[in-house]
Chains A and B, each alone.
Chain A
């Protein structure tokens, strides 16, 4: 049972909103920085090094040395801020953090494909093309799942995020035992208050059998109730 009327959502706590927004901005900042850093490395041939005791064939550009550690470590921190801040805002908002994965791999995959097909030295670089295809797959396939989840394929998440209240019937409680002295037991009269149409026929019959085993129903009452249940089910079909 779903009540479609939306309750006015309470205002999210501003402190958590601020943390969430800092996380969003930080994640966008870090992914963009990494994207630029990767392009700078591809510009010098795809590999480079900096520091250490060895002779370095290709020195990393200064910007890469400064930005890459910042973007990687900062990205984890920003994702954590998004998760913590978003946990106060609802499932849909906190779920946005999972877009970081497709954003990262699709953007870096784009770099690989662009430099693979149009490298600075001309020709094609097949190893970069292969990496680009793999990255696009690694980013694109999860993106389909994230978008599917956001479009409400999962009713619980949708209900939670949209502020709706979903109420499902509870499993049928044992209920008060019917009077064993009544000669003709009326199943519709003594059943617990559960929508009969919502309970499968098999469940109703099993519940009656359980009541018979417990001694809540006499044999005659059980047969009468079973017949009434079957007749009612037949009438509905």
Chain B
């Protein structure tokens, strides 16, 4: 399946974008949930 997702750098960039998105959400929800 990986040959359908070329170039390789874009594959890596998509995975990195997912990680960034999830990380930002974890951080933001932590900030919002923190007791004032």
Could you list which residues of chain A lie within 8 angstroms of chain B, going by C-beta atoms?
9, 12, 17, 21-22, 24-30, 32-33, 36-37, 40, 61-63, 66-67, 89, 92-93, 96, 150-152, 158, 161-163
Could you list which residues of chain B lie within 8 angstroms of chain A, going by C-beta atoms?
1, 3-7, 10, 13-14, 17-22, 24-26, 28-29, 32-33
Cβ contact of B33, chosen from A28, A63, A158, cutoff 8 A: A63
Instruction: Contacts A24-B17, A29-B21, A29-B22 given; indicate if A63 touches B29 (C-beta within 8 A).
Output: yes
Write the nearest CB–CB distance from A61 to chain B, whole angstroms.
Answer: 7
Contact status A28-B22, CB under 8 Å: yes
Instruction: Contacts A93-B5, A152-B4, A162-B3 given; indicate if A62 touches B17 (C-beta within 8 A).
Output: no
Output the nearest chain B residue to A61 by Cβ-Cβ distance. Answer: B33
CA distance A162 to B7 in the complex (A): 10
Contact status A17-B10, CB under 8 Å: yes
CA distance A26 to B5 in the complex (A): 20
| Cβ–Cβ < 8 Å partners of B10 in chain A | 12, 17, 89, 93
Output the nearest chain A residue to B9 by Cβ-Cβ distance. Answer: A17
| Cβ–Cβ < 8 Å partners of A40 in chain B | 33
Output the nearest chain B residue to A96 by Cβ-Cβ distance. Answer: B14
Contact status B21-A25, CB under 8 Å: yes
CA distance A163 to B7 in the complex (A): 11
Contact status A21-B17, CB under 8 Å: yes
| Cβ–Cβ < 8 Å partners of B3 in chain A | 162
Output the nearest chain A residue to B24 by Cβ-Cβ distance. Answer: A29
Instruction: Contacts A24-B18, A161-B4 given; indicate if A29 touches B25 (C-beta within 8 A).
Output: yes
Output the nearest chain A residue to B26 by Cβ-Cβ distance. Answer: A32
Contact status B6-A9, CB under 8 Å: yes
Write the nearest CB–CB distance from A219 to chain B, whole angstroms.
Answer: 55
CA distance A25 to B14 in the complex (A): 8
| Cβ–Cβ < 8 Å partners of B5 in chain A | 92-93, 161
Output the nearest chain A residue to B11 by Cβ-Cβ distance. Answer: A93
| Cβ–Cβ < 8 Å partners of B6 in chain A | 9, 162-163
Output the nearest chain B residue to A62 by Cβ-Cβ distance. Answer: B32
| Cβ–Cβ < 8 Å partners of A61 in chain B | 33
Contact status A158-B4, CB under 8 Å: yes
Contact status A28-B4, CB under 8 Å: no
CA distance A32 to B19 in the complex (A): 11
| Cβ–Cβ < 8 Å partners of B13 in chain A | 17, 21
